[in-house]
């Protein structure tokens, strides 16, 4: 009897020690924890055309046809310069061209007469060749003079600064009576149509198959569509630039807000991540409840502090409370009310 009581006592003590060695934890199934997180990144609306329109020659500003805030169409006149000198130069070149035309007409007549005389045997080859040379020289002079007249015409055309695209005037540096120099900015013109969104995101983000992309600005949401992800990673920011188009309403160029997108794969919450040593390396992962044993499941692509995608089956049990206290292979017991 004494021996039996002793053995019963030892078994009871061993059972108590074993129960005390188990760590009490709480767990939930993967299916209960999965969600589709929303991410965001800084973004800015960029105009396709944002130009400082400059003078291309030196002249006094004579007229200004626009003010800041005016919207203009392609070809609208913005600024006119004093063109008297350039118009005089153009007229001079045209007059010289007319003079050459008169000489060229005379040379043509002389060549035709010389050719007739040569054909009749009344003028030698030397006399005919002289007329040919005179005619060709005048033709060459005319080509040169045509180009000089064209250059003068270009200068006259540049006395009027026109809008190269439709947009809105955002700055006006031109002042009446001021001397415009080549390259000096006169008007800043910003195109309103066709603006696109620029955002910088971590390279790990996969935007293939994304269903929802939008731009948030002043509490308003603008639908966006991915156009391209630049195949270059910024070495300092560790981000890639992406450009997006607006299929519907267009926010104003220069608007700074946030790009919003929803993951196309289910994720687990970031707080479930733990760091455990596997061999000689430390890895991120989750602690699973495998019967009465804790198991560490690595997640190589996870980023600490961020929700992470997983391929775990939905029925797998993830340790929630107590995950920081257990290690791979340790005995655990689930608290009452948890999944079994």
How do residues 28-57 score in pLDDT, each as one tens digit? 999 999 998 888 899 999 999 999 999 999
What is the token pair recorded at 13?
């003590």
CATH match for 50-82+159-190 among 2.40.50.100, 3.40.50.1370, 3.10.20.30, 2.60.120.10 = 2.40.50.100
The mean pLDDT value for 258-268 works out to: 88
pLDDT given for residue 127 in this prediction: 86
Residue 18: pLDDT over 60: no
Residues 215 and 222 sit within 8 Å (Cβ to Cβ): yes
pLDDT given for residue 151 in this prediction: 96
Q: In whole angstroms, give the CA distance from residue 92 to residue 265.
A: 74
CA 149, 154, 158: angle at the middle one, nearest 5? 150
What is the token pair recorded at 333?
């017991």
Q: In whole angstroms, give the CA distance from residue 160 to residue 199.
A: 38
Give residues with Cβ within 8 angstroms of 32, minimum separation 6.
none
pLDDT given for residue 264 in this prediction: 78
Beta bridge partners of 213: 261
Q: In whole angstroms, give the CA distance from residue 338 to residue 340.
A: 6
Residue 19: pLDDT over 80: no
Question: Quick one: CATH architecture of 38-48+194-262?
Answer: Beta Barrel (2.40)
Residue 340: pLDDT over 60: no
The count of C-alpha atoms lying within 13 angstroms of the C-alpha of 266, restricted to the half-sphere facing its C-beta, is 12
pLDDT given for residue 339 in this prediction: 55
Phi, psi of 134 (to 5 degrees): -60, -40
pLDDT tens profile 157-173: 999 999 999 999 999 99
CA distance readout (Å), 157 to 20, 65, 145, 160, 161: 95, 17, 18, 6, 8
The mean pLDDT value for 299-317 works out to: 90
Residues 74 and 163 sit within 8 Å (Cβ to Cβ): yes
Size of the chain in residues: 340
Residue 335: pLDDT over 80: yes
Residues 260 and 224 sit within 8 Å (Cβ to Cβ): no
Q: Binning pLDDT at 50, 70 and 90, where does residue 256 land?
A: very high
Residue 8: pLDDT over 70: no
Beta strands at 27-29 and 317-319: parallel, antiparallel or unpaired: antiparallel
Q: Binning pLDDT at 50, 70 and 90, where does residue 17 land?
A: very low
Of the chain, the percentage scoring pLDDT greater than 90 comes to 71
Residues 76 and 163 sit within 8 Å (Cβ to Cβ): yes
Residue 12: pLDDT over 80: no
């Amino acid at each position: 009897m004494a021996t039996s009581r002793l053995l019963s006592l030892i078994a009871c003590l061993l059972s108590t020690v074993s129960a005390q060695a188990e760590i009490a934890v709480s767990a939930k199934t993967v299916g209960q924890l999965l969600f589709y997180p929303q991410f965001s990144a800084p973004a800015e609306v960029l105009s396709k055309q944002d130009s400082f329109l400059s003078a291309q020659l030196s002249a006094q500003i004579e007229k200004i046809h626009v003010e800041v805030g005016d919207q203009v169409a392609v070809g609208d006149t913005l600024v006119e310069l004093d063109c008297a000198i350039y118009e005089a130069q153009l007229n001079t070149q045209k007059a010289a061209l007319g003079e050459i035309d008169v000489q060229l007409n005379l040379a043509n007549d002389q060549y035709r007469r010389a050719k007739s005389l040569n054909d009749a045997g009344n003028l030698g080859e030397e006399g005919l060749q002289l007329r040919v040379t005179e005619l060709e020289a005048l033709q060459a002079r005319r080509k040169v003079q045509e180009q000089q007249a064209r250059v003068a015409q270009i200068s006259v055309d540049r006395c009027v600064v026109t809008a190269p695209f439709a947009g809105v005037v955002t700055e006006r540096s031109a002042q009446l009576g001021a001397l415009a120099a080549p390259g000096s900015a006169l008007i800043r013109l910003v195109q309103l149509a066709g603006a696109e969104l620029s955002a910088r995101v971590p390279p790990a983000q996969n935007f293939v198959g994304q269903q929802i992309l939008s731009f948030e600005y002043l509490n308003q949401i603008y639908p966006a569509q991915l156009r391209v992800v630049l195949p270059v990673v910024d070495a300092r920011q560790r981000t890639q630039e992406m450009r997006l188009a607006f299929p519907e309403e267009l926010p104003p160029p220069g608007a700074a807000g946030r790009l919003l997108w929803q993951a196309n794969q289910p994720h687990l919450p970031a707080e479930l991540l733990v760091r455990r040593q596997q061999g000689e390396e430390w890895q991120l992962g989750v602690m699973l409840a495998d019967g009465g044993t804790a198991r560490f499941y690595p997640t190589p692509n996870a980023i600490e502090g961020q929700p992470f995608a997983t391929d775990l089956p939905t029925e797998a049990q993830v340790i929630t409370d107590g995950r920081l206290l257990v290690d791979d292979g340790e005995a655990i017991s689930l608290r009452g009310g948890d999944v079994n």
